[in-house]
Amino acid sequence: MNAAPKTHTQLPALTRELVAHSLGIAARPLPPDLARIARHSLLDWFAVAHAAWQEPPVRILLAEVREEGALPCATLLDGSKVSAVQAALVNGTASHVLDFDDAHLQSRVHPSVPLWPAILAQAESGRHSRREALAAFAAGVELQSRVASWMGEDHYRRGWHNTATLGMLGATVAVASLLRLDVSQTAHALGIAATQAGGMRALFGTMCKPLHAGQAAAMGLRAARLAARGFTAVPDILEREQGFGALYAGVRDTASIWHDASISRLHGIVYKYHASCYGTQAPIEACVQLRHEHGFAAADIATVEVVIEQQYLDVCCIPEPRTPSEAKFSIAHMAALALSGRSTVAAESFTAALDDPALAALRGRIRVHGDAAMPRANAQVTVTLANGVAHVSHSDASRPETDLGRQEARIANKARALLLPGLGAERTEALIATVLASDGIDDVASYFAPLRQ
């Protein structure tokens, strides 16, 4: 990894320094462990995106882009082709519809959904290798994560959706690395992207949240391509007066951006095994553990107390969800599913289950509280049974897996569950094997071959 200065007191070169650092990562072969993590994220992305292909937001976007028409050069997840920007938009939106994609807790960005759609669209149309695509992913994760460190919590607290705003910047740098843009061109590309960045947390639980990811991928791709054609912005968009940092978070200090500069931010990626907001993952795991250890039935439960970190209270605490999207942002609903022994992945858990009287009754017995002392992505669940016996479980969903073999096995099993209904066994195994194969010089079009069989 590039070794950047650890502390900074001057602002003028921030954008260029961060661009140079990120492009430097893409310019060299990734270490084997980082390439493996990138492949895990790519497989996870393919699975969650393909599983959402028939969902309403995707069908609406598909109708729109097909009516527009364009030069077909990039593959959609149904095997058809559209323009590169259209592919990034639709594939990116699809990959965030189920809210089942990977996460990077330190940056509050879902790393794959703005990056892989843009990278694959550009890499396929430009006939880039799989090795180049994986390196571009690492560069994008690095850029968006370090900008997030600099922006701090204020950006998210103001109501911005980091996957949309910072993900667009990451997608820009990832595509810039494929286009071989230099530092100056890429800095201008960031300016082009930054002036278009948006995405509000107020839209969580609606079709617009996954659209944020698609827009980030599409606009990041377009920003880099425009810069390659000579379109200019400003070369210091992050640090300039009234620039991205000042406007979106009011930040000025830059020391945090270079914390652990020699360590790749790929190491911070975590994966979901329940199809809902990351804030629900720890409560679900605690509920699953309690049911497994104590064997009670849902009808035996008198009350459930869920304690989470306070910031999730206004993110994923919809008490009575009415739509599948709202269900994914409801700790009460997801906890009720887990305590009832129901799937936290199957589609019916977010549709038919919403109107199930027994599940609704259990939801009504669940109370969610915030605790300022609760660590990030942790939860404590107390289940009190009708006989007065109480059981307690604590879960920590904040730590990335250190055993990459175990992680690969879990992601492959998740991919099978999501891909089998649409692709069948033979094509599913072909896609898993293709994505997890060691990165090489093969064109990225090989990733899409199983979708076309």
Q: Do 70 and 86 form a contact (C-beta atoms < 8 A)?
A: yes
Q: On the CB side of 352, how many CA atoms lie within 13 Å of its CA?
A: 5
Q: Do 137 and 38 form a contact (C-beta atoms < 8 A)?
A: yes
pLDDT of residue 352: 93
**How far is the C-alpha of 407 from the C-alpha of 253, rounded, in Å?**
36
Backbone angles phi, psi at 380, to 5 degrees: -125, 130
Residue ranges of domains in the chain, CATH in brackets: 14-270 (1.10.4100.10), 278-396 (3.30.1330.120)
Q: Do 25 and 31 form a contact (C-beta atoms < 8 A)?
A: no
| Crossing angle of the two packed helices 56-68 and 84-97, in degrees rounded to 10 | 170
**How far is the C-alpha of 396 from the C-alpha of 340, rounded, in Å?**
21
Host H or E run for residue 413: helix 404-436
pLDDT of residue 162: 97
pTM metric for this prediction: 0.88
- What are the angstrom distances between the C-alpha of 60 and each of 15, 53, 56? 37, 11, 6
Interacting residues of 48 by C-beta distance below 8 A, sequence separation 6+: 95, 98, 100, 101, 418
**Residue type at position 9:** T
Q: 9-45: buried (b, 16+ CB within 10 Å) or exposed (e) per residue?
A: eebebbbbbbbbbbbbbbeeebeeebbbbbbbbbbbb
Strand order in the sheet with 378-385: 366-370, 301-308, 378-385, 390-396
Long-range Cβ pairs for the range 410-415 (8 Å, 24+): 410/271, 410/273, 411/40, 411/43, 411/44, 411/47, 411/271, 412/43, 412/436, 414/44, 414/47, 414/271, 414/273, 415/43, 415/44, 415/46, 415/47
Q: What is the pLDDT along the chain (453 residues), one digit of tens a residue?
A: 343 333 333 445 899 999 999 999 999 999 999 999 999 999 999 999 999 999 999 999 999 999 998 889 999 999 999 999 999 999 999 999 998 999 999 999 999 999 999 999 999 999 999 999 999 999 999 999 999 999 988 999 999 999 999 999 999 999 999 999 999 999 999 999 999 999 999 999 899 999 999 999 999 999 999 999 999 999 999 999 999 999 999 876 677 788 787 789 999 999 999 999 899 999 999 999 999 999 999 999 999 999 999 988 988 999 999 998 899 999 999 999 999 999 998 889 999 999 999 999 999 999 999 999 999 899 999 999 999 999 999 999 999 999 999 999 999 999 999 999 999 999 999 999 999 997 766 889 999 999 886
Strand partners, 330: 317
The CA-based diameter of the chain, rounded to the nearest angstrom, is 72
